[in-house]
Amino acid sequence: MKVKRRLQTGILLSVLLGYCSAAMATEPQELFNFVRPLDAVQVTTQDAELPNRIGEPTPQGEVLRRVTFHPAAQPSLRLTPQSGSWDWSQQTLVSLRVQNAMDWALTLDVLIESTDGQRLSTRIALPAGPAQTLLIPLKAASPRDQGMRAGVPMPWTHKGQRLLLADTLTGALDLSKVSALTLSIPQPQAAQDILISQFGVSSEQLSAAAYAGIVDSYGQFTRGNWPGKVKSEAQLQEAVVQEQKQLHDWLAERPAQDKFSGWTGGQPFEASGFFRTEKRDGRWFLVTPEGHPFYSLGVNAVTAQQSATYVEGREAMFSALPQQGDALAAYFGTSDSRSDNGANQGRTFASGRWFDFYKANLQRSYRGADPVAWRMLSQDRLQAWGFNTLGNWSEPAFAGDARMPFSIPLLIGGDYATISTGVDWWGAMPDPFDPRFAMATERAVAIASRDHRDNPWLLGYFADNELAWAGPADDPNGRYALAYATLRLTTDVPAKRAFLKQLRDKYRNHNGLSRAWGIQLQAWELMEDPGFQAPLPSAEFPAIEQDMQAFLSLYAETYFKTIADSLDWHAPNHLLLGGRFASSIPEAVNACARFCDVLSFNFYTREPQQGYDFAALRELDKPLMITEFHFGSRDRGPFWGGVAEVYKEEERGPAYAHFLTKALEEPQIVGVHWFQYLDQPVTGRLLDGENGHLGLVAITDRPWAGFVKSVRNANLAVPKALLKPVPAPATAGP
């Protein structure tokens, strides 16, 4: 049922927050007070109501008015001028005094409109607890404006006030003609209440204040507290001593295994001297060079080289950077991470001077940051925690330690043609039909394999990483984005020539294609024009979809065959571990299964089975590795909870154990790799500003004790789940 109510309201020029106004530095303008309404603003509701005519006192002494949002698609409260529009051209923020009346966080959508049809919107996580002032900037904004993936936690206390600053807004407005502000809750399943009072605007600049002094001298978030937060160097050094005792005990408790971490408690396989795959009794296995079953329990990015963060231009965010002449000043440096790929679009603070808090903490903890000692400790930790593989992006020097199996990424770069699918997170798709791509592949494989041709510790090679095989998820044509994008290009792009040849071989001329696609193509040459728009797939003309699929199959097969052929020549003894799919299409997965030894996927889901159609994967009957997964939270410093987020730190361990248990249920899966070893910097890594609590280890080099213990228990249970006991020899008769 649609509920509408009009309230007589008015404009009251006074201090914005009434009860808390003394804390505000800039005189704001109050437009409306729900507790003391006058008659110049109109309030309407849809699937919502203001059930009481008077306000309600809170335990903190404020009086606010209740708003109830009923179960519906988008119950809303809308504020509009009684006549005309608002002129906010001199303002920077909208302010709402609001309190969540429930015992759980609510999702609140805010939409601001101007008379010309422009819209500015944001989605707020409104926490339970006392009232706060919700501040909404009047222009598009993102945490990338601060150089990071996720913004500082809200609310925060500023000048005695509890403030919640919206940090992600999309759209635009004509600020001289603002026509409406709407609050709504998306699809509540039961009635949800908020309390509200003042609504106004302000010209104060608060973004800089929200980010001031957020990082301490150890690289930790200053406004949060948690078990194990480092307060002194003595605390770091004592923790090192205690950890060494624990590692000694845990290393002694590992299951029986060969030197490559293959389990010796089960029936052996044939030894080949290198890692390989084999299917036995319906289950796929990796097999160590010595012939024992191996389930790859890996960790990505085991490196001390990815923990620096840019400080230039945002020095105010850091409360205690080393001064010139300090010993820790050795961990400053400079870089330039600017690029036009999707991972960096709109990001500021992507170049200049940086500081590496992680290496500074190694200096504090161990009186130095010796790379050999660091690698030894890291491998002690991983093996004590039940891991057996150094995953992608790990320190290359591990390859010379002859202690843990490792993998190598084939990062194929060159001046070959590329094709955009509209995602391009790490760049546009390589054109495998371009002869320069084959040359670049040959060069990348030759360099990557040069020192490892006969290295038995090398598990295998990955073909690139997370290529954008599909378009945006919200695009109905995303499934075929690569094919459509190819046809829009000019004929100097080899992929387009390959597609046109495929179509001409099938249809012979433009008339045949016109009939099959239901179009009126006057001449074949028109398809060669840049910007040619092919028709969308339809049930009436099934050939459209069939032709798109045929081209994508040819594209993917050409891509993977080029890499496989080069690897067969340069590294015939090692596995090709697939393409580390993030977005994928069936044609690419099928081609990967044909030309690679192992399929690989990056699944950021609660269970592997939620990441892809495993019925289709079982039909391919190919060993499969999950080469990235994680579970992060926001309660240990870094602001981003990762791609797969849990509510709190204590949930990460059970989430890891559940994911691994579900992976073991799939006989194709031969390993899972956690992303990543270390937490990312609070203010974002150099590469792209990611700032997640994803690690086994904090920026202080202190392992997350509870999480690590849960991970270890889950890992140590794997051989018990997979190994069949070796039958006892038959005894001789009397």
Pair of tokens at residue 277: 């795959």
Q: Is 495 left (phi over 0), alpha (psi -120 to 50) or beta?
A: alpha
pLDDT value for 38: 67
Q: For the chain, which residues make up each domain, given as ranges?
A: 18-211, 233-253+295-404+603-722, 418-570
pLDDT one-digit tens code per residue, 643-702: 999 999 999 999 999 999 999 999 999 999 999 999 999 999 999 999 999 999 999 999
What's the rounded Cα separation, in Å, for the pair 703 and 713? 15
* Of 78-87, 213-222, 722-731, the least confident: 722-731
Residues of the chain with pLDDT > 90, as a percent, come to 88
What's the rounded Cα separation, in Å, for the pair 193 and 695? 37
Burial 487-518 (b: 16+ CB within 10 A, else e): bbbeeebbbbbbbbebbeeebeebebbeebbe
Terminal C-alpha separation, the chain: 88
Identify whether 155 is preceded by a cis peptide bond (ω within 30 of 0).
yes
Give the amino acid at 634. Answer: R
How would you list the strands of the sheet with 276-280, edge to edge?
A: 276-280, 283-287, 293-294
> Which residue do the tokens 């546009």 mark?
428
Round the average pLDDT of the chain to a whole number and report it.
Answer: 93
CB within 8 Å of 425: residues ≥ 6 apart: 341, 342, 343, 466, 468, 582
CA-closest candidate to residue 565, choices 590, 588, 594, 602: 594
In this prediction, residues 589-606 reach a mean pLDDT of 98
pLDDT one-digit tens code per residue, 74-110: 999 999 998 999 999 999 999 999 999 999 999 999 9
pLDDT one-digit tens code per residue, 533-582: 999 999 999 999 999 999 999 999 999 999 999 999 999 999 999 999 99
Residue 42 reports pLDDT greater than 70: yes
In this prediction, residues 459-468 reach a mean pLDDT of 96
How would you list the strands of the sheet with 106-114, edge to edge?
A: 41-46, 76-81, 178-184, 106-114, 119-126, 169-171
pLDDT one-digit tens code per residue, 682-698: 999 999 999 999 999 99
pLDDT one-digit tens code per residue, 307-320: 999 999 999 999 99
The hierarchical CATH code for the domain 233-253+295-404+603-722 is: 3.20.20.80
Q: Are 655 and 631 in contact (CB under 8 A)?
A: yes
pLDDT value for 700: 98
Q: Are 295 and 722 in contact (CB under 8 A)?
A: yes
CB within 8 Å of 131: residues ≥ 6 apart: 58, 60, 62, 64, 97, 98, 99, 162, 195, 197
Q: Are 218 and 230 in contact (CB under 8 A)?
A: yes
pLDDT value for 472: 87
Residue 623 reports pLDDT greater than 70: yes
The total number of residues shown for the chain amounts to: 734
What's the rounded Cα separation, in Å, for the pair 99 and 17? 13
CA angle 316, 317, 322 (to 5 degrees): 80
Whole-number Cα distances in Å, 438 to 261, 412, 499, 654: 36, 10, 18, 45
Pair of tokens at residue 133: 């002032």
Q: Is 526 left (phi over 0), alpha (psi -120 to 50) or beta?
A: alpha
DSSP-assigned states of every residue in 316-373? GGBS-PPPTT-GGGGGEEEEE---SSGGGTT----EEEEEEHHHHHHHHHHSS--HHH
In this prediction, residues 158-185 reach a mean pLDDT of 96
Q: Is 305 left (phi over 0), alpha (psi -120 to 50) or beta?
A: alpha
In this prediction, residues 462-469 reach a mean pLDDT of 95
In this prediction, residues 127-150 reach a mean pLDDT of 96
In this prediction, residues 166-175 reach a mean pLDDT of 97
DSSP code for 145: G
CB within 8 Å of 239: residues ≥ 6 apart: 365, 702
Residue 704 reports pLDDT greater than 60: yes
What's the rounded Cα separation, in Å, for the pair 672 and 624? 9
Confidence class of residue 425 from pLDDT cuts 50, 70 and 90? confident
Residue 23 reports pLDDT greater than 50: no
CA angle 336, 338, 342 (to 5 degrees): 150
Predicted TM-score (pTM) of this structure: 0.93
* Of 12-21, 71-80, 112-121, 554-563, the least confident: 12-21
In this prediction, residues 162-174 reach a mean pLDDT of 97
What's the rounded Cα separation, in Å, for the pair 125 and 91? 24
pLDDT value for 26: 52
Topology of domain 18-211, per CATH?
Jelly Rolls (2.60.120)
What's the rounded Cα separation, in Å, for the pair 497 and 194? 60
For residue 665, the tally of other CB atoms under 10 A from its CB is 12
In this prediction, residues 177-199 reach a mean pLDDT of 96
pLDDT value for 732: 54
